[in-house]
Structure 1
Amino acid sequence: MKLNWKFKFCCLIAVVLVTSILYELWFVGGKKKLFYKPVSRQSSKDIFSFSLSQQHELYQKDDMFNNIFFSAEDVTDFILLILKNENVMVTLQTLWEKYSRDKGKLLNDQIKNEKFENKANIMLRDILNKKNKNVFLDVNEKYEFSVLNRTCHNIERDLQGRGQCIVSLEDTLCSERKLSDRTKGKKQKNRSQQKWTGQKEKLCDYMHMNSSTFVYLPHLKNPCYEECERGYNTIRCLPYFMIIGMPKSGTTSLYYHLAQHKEVLPGKKKEPMYFNRNCYRGMHLNDYTMNFDEMKTRLTAGKQVSSLITGDGSADVAFDSWDWKNFPGNEGLKEPKYVLPFFIHKLLPGLKIIIMLRDPVERLYSDYLFEAPIAHYLLSLEDFHQAVHRAVRKQELCQAQFSVRTCAYNSSLENYKARLRVGMYYVFLMDWLNIYPQNQILVIDFDEYTKDKRKILNEVAEFLELSK
């Protein structure tokens, strides 16, 4: 009986051991099939539509490629190829093929190319990791110039483009160098504040753009978009609202009162005058977005900005389509078919527009007083009367040959002593209302604003969907 009991016990143990071994073999063999989820085989275009943080998170799931660490020899090969002005992506492809061979990753061409495209950004960041700084210094001994600077310069030049960066230099040796350059250049900051060329342009760059040119960041109230600038992802912001007019109607007061609200970030300048004036003087859209860099600064610093907005207070935009004859679609016309609101709407269809109106005669005289120190003329009622008389006569002669609308946009009929046409509110307001829906335009009476600012400011806050 004892022998029989021992035999049964041994058999039971043997069954358990065999079962355990079989389960282990099944689990190890089937683990990849049951639990491993490879990165979906999307095109490079789809992959690069993700943010860089999303890409990194996506690739971390790919066990096969999580542990890429290039040797000093590989990094040296990369540096030498880049110094020879080789294309960055071609160089990475060469390095990737060598890495695959060395690691024994026998992949077919389709998967190999796909994995390379999905991994290019992480590869570049591994090569330019700060741990490889000594490799750059070793290569540097053979050259009379800074190898790191030249390598980064060549990479930056090759990665110029719009949209999101395919490969990014953020948090690499190149960005460290760039930050160092910025610190050294702080003393020259005042010299380089205006970066635009100053060259006269026949046509403004934004007139060929539309809102589909950019992908606005969905989690923000203010229109901001991501762009690749020489291999570095950067954020650019445009205004959520514009105070488009009219001059001497309280626009400056309103703008700076709004700037006191906790959810409004004012621009560097109240009136950048990009859309109507400075775009003809070499200012491009990227230069214009620099006026709203405070929004970008807070966003890149990781601060809560989802409810923040910024605005443009260029008070001449309402009426200043002075070069309408050269606008696309207006060639050869006697009356403008397209004016500024048409082109601004293409770029900013969700723009909130504020226009302040004042009694045209009072506005005209206030304008006359304001411009005297700038235009260097002596103030007198008689001088003002004569200036207005001349402006009225010019308008009468113009309207005898052309439509009221054509004359309203003719800036040659005025001088700064009597900008009579600015008071032709109906023409300008109708052009904006024909483009933008009425719920995106707020008209403010100057007299009501001066009588009860608190009431009007509350109305503006409600219009801009600001907290009270």
Structure 2
Amino acid sequence: MTPIDKAHRKKLRIIEKASYTDMKILKTRNLLLKSVYKARRHFLPYYFMPPPLWRVLFRAIQPGQRAVPDFACIGPVRSGTTLLTDYIMQHPAVALPLTKELNISKTPMLRLILAQFPRKSSIKPGMITGFCSPVVPGILFPHFAHRVSSRAKIIVILRDPAERVFSHWRWDQLALKRVKNDPLWQNAPGFPEIIRLEIELLKQGAGAGTSLSGTPVGGYIQGSMYLPFLRHLYKYYPRENIKVVNANAFFKDTLSVVRDIYQFLGLPEYEPVMTPVKNSGPKMDLDQETREILVDFFKSHNEQLYTFLGQDFGWSR
């Protein structure tokens, strides 16, 4: 066990408070209490979700003083990017950015991106900084990332696509919880019907924009089609700068995977502190018929992905 000094303990509390505050805002029904959390959020030292815009604009006054990110931890929505990033950020040799989840679409200018990283003067020798973003399969991300930092190391975490699709839909149900009883949603299609419609549209060569969270690149199905994004990413970064992580292996043997990532990033040895899942979606069961439809649809996509990467993740068959 790595000894935890006072400064490191403070850092762990900062990371914990960031996620605690945003989850309270998301899940609290009491409007007064929600307002209190929102007010406090303006002055946090670190953010779980995108920070207040005024904080970014203020820090952007002197963008040349900001460090360039050394790494990015990316993946599709609901694939473990948040949990993995928490483990990376807790390392004593990682300097916290303003936010762990960089949202390029909300701050689409280089100086606003750099404003969300620490000052160069605050980063001690041997330390690195970086960010997380659930951007896969946003096709513009590799270009933007390369413009920000051409030497960055990229960690891509990918989840069994059939599981990810259902988890993404469940997360949207949490976001819709307060409006689902509205007449507008009466007789709205459920998950099985949405999946059938998306697959039908894809077979006809059309997109399927049904997801309400995550990158605006289509529906739940398209968010699990990873290979086109990876091929594009490898055009911008050499293979030695990219590490693809099987989310299922990460969930099963978390600390072993995290240690391997520390090594990939060139970080000194450190025994990570176990971190709870902070943004789990509502519990629901996927019916067997829909699961089989998803597994069958993704079978060929997964095989092509394994061939490209040279490794078999053993996802649903």
Q: Same fold (TM over 0.5)?
A: yes
Please tell me whether the aligned partners of residues 394 and 413 of structure 1 are also in contact (alpha carbons under 8 angstroms): no
Name the structure 1 match of 2:293. Answer: none
**AA partner of residue 96 (structure 2):** P
Please tell me whether the aligned partners of residues 138 and 229 of structure 2 are also in contact (alpha carbons under 8 angstroms): no
Please tell me whether the aligned partners of residues 414 and 421 of structure 1 are also in contact (alpha carbons under 8 angstroms): no
Give the superposed CA RMSD. Answer: 3.2
Question: How far did residue 420 of structure 1 move?
Answer: 1.1
Question: How far did residue 228 of structure 1 move?
Answer: 9.3
Name the structure 2 match of 1:341. Answer: 142
In structure 2, which of residues 202, 215, 225 is the aligned counterpart of residue 424 of structure 1?
Answer: 225
**AA partner of residue 71 (structure 2):** F
The CA distance in 2 between the partners of 1:197 and 1:306, in whole Å, is 25
Please tell me whether the aligned partners of residues 195 and 287 of structure 1 are also in contact (alpha carbons under 8 angstroms): no
Name the structure 2 match of 1:194. Answer: 53
SS at match of 1:291: coil
Which digits, 9 at most, give the CA deviation of each residue in 1:25-68, with x for residues without a partner?
xxxxxxxxxxxxxxxxxxxxxxxxxxxxxxxxxxxxxxxxxxxx
Name the structure 2 match of 1:414. Answer: 210
**AA partner of residue 286 (structure 1):** R
Question: How far did residue 193 of structure 1 move?
Answer: 5.1
- Structure 1: gaps (5+ residues): 1-188, 199-226, 300-304, 322-338, 400-409
Please tell me whether the aligned partners of residues 196 and 284 of structure 1 are also in contact (alpha carbons under 8 angstroms): no
Question: How far did residue 235 of structure 1 move?
Answer: 1.1
Name the structure 1 match of 2:263. Answer: 462
Alpha carbons of structure 1 residues 396 and 258: separation in structure 2 relative to 1, 3 Å: same
The CA distance in 2 between the partners of 1:370 and 1:265, in whole Å, is 30
Name the structure 2 match of 1:398. Answer: 205
Alpha carbons of structure 1 residues 291 and 346: separation in structure 2 relative to 1, 3 Å: closer
For the pair 1:385 / 2:186, whether they are aligned, the reply is no
Question: How far did residue 260 of structure 1 move?
Answer: 1.4
The CA distance in 2 between the partners of 1:427 and 1:389, in whole Å, is 22
**AA partner of residue 306 (structure 1):** P
SS at match of 2:263: helix
Q: Which structure shows the higher helix fraction?
A: 1
SS at match of 1:313: strand
**AA partner of residue 350 (structure 1):** R
Name the structure 2 match of 1:355. Answer: 156
Alpha carbons of structure 1 residues 347 and 269: separation in structure 2 relative to 1, 3 Å: closer
Question: How far did residue 419 of structure 1 move?
Answer: 1.5
Task: Map 1:179-218 onto structure 2 (within 5 A).
Answer: 194-195=53-54
Name the structure 2 match of 1:145. Answer: none
The CA distance in 1 between the partners of 2:256 and 2:98, in whole Å, is 27
Alpha carbons of structure 1 residues 461 and 341: separation in structure 2 relative to 1, 3 Å: same
SS at match of 2:205: helix
Alpha carbons of structure 1 residues 447 and 434: separation in structure 2 relative to 1, 3 Å: same
The CA distance in 2 between the partners of 1:449 and 1:435, in whole Å, is 26
Name the structure 2 match of 1:335. Answer: none
For the pair 1:366 / 2:167, whether they are aligned, the reply is yes
Alpha carbons of structure 1 residues 341 and 237: separation in structure 2 relative to 1, 3 Å: same
**AA partner of residue 291 (structure 1):** Q
TM-score normalised by L of structure 2: 0.58
Alpha carbons of structure 1 residues 287 and 420: separation in structure 2 relative to 1, 3 Å: same
Task: Map 1:420-459 onto structure 2 (within 5 A).
Answer: 420-459=221-260
For the pair 1:244 / 2:74, whether they are aligned, the reply is yes
Which digits, 9 at most, give the CA deviation of each residue in 1:435-462, with x for residues without a partner?
2111111011111111211211111011
The CA distance in 1 between the partners of 2:115 and 2:84, in whole Å, is 22
SS at match of 2:98: coil
SS at match of 1:398: coil
In structure 2, which of residues 108, 130, 133 is the aligned counterpart of residue 314 of structure 1?
Answer: 133
Task: Map 1:285-296 onto structure 2 (within 5 A).
Answer: 285-293=110-118, 295-296=119-120
- Structure 2: gaps (5+ residues): 1-41, 44-50, 182-186, 214-218, 270-317
Larger relative contact order (Cα-Cα within 8 Å, sequence gap ≥ 6) = 2
SS at match of 1:442: strand
TM-score normalised by L of structure 1: 0.40
The CA distance in 2 between the partners of 1:449 and 1:456, in whole Å, is 6
SS at match of 2:229: helix
**AA partner of residue 258 (structure 2):** L
**AA partner of residue 225 (structure 2):** M
SS at match of 1:311: strand
Name the structure 2 match of 1:278. Answer: 106
Please tell me whether the aligned partners of residues 375 and 416 of structure 1 are also in contact (alpha carbons under 8 angstroms): no
The CA distance in 2 between the partners of 1:236 and 1:289, in whole Å, is 6
In structure 1, which of residues 269, 289, 296 is the aligned counterpart of residue 99 of structure 2?
Answer: 269
SS at match of 1:427: helix
Alpha carbons of structure 1 residues 413 and 396: separation in structure 2 relative to 1, 3 Å: farther
The CA distance in 2 between the partners of 1:357 and 1:463, in whole Å, is 17
- Aligned-residue sequence identity (percent) comes to 24
The CA distance in 1 between the partners of 2:163 and 2:113, in whole Å, is 32
Please tell me whether the aligned partners of residues 81 and 132 of structure 2 are also in contact (alpha carbons under 8 angstroms): yes
Question: How far did residue 240 of structure 1 move?
Answer: 0.8
Alpha carbons of structure 1 residues 228 and 363: separation in structure 2 relative to 1, 3 Å: closer
Name the structure 1 match of 2:295. Answer: none
Q: Which has the larger radius of gyration?
A: 1
Please tell me whether the aligned partners of residues 65 and 120 of structure 2 are also in contact (alpha carbons under 8 angstroms): yes
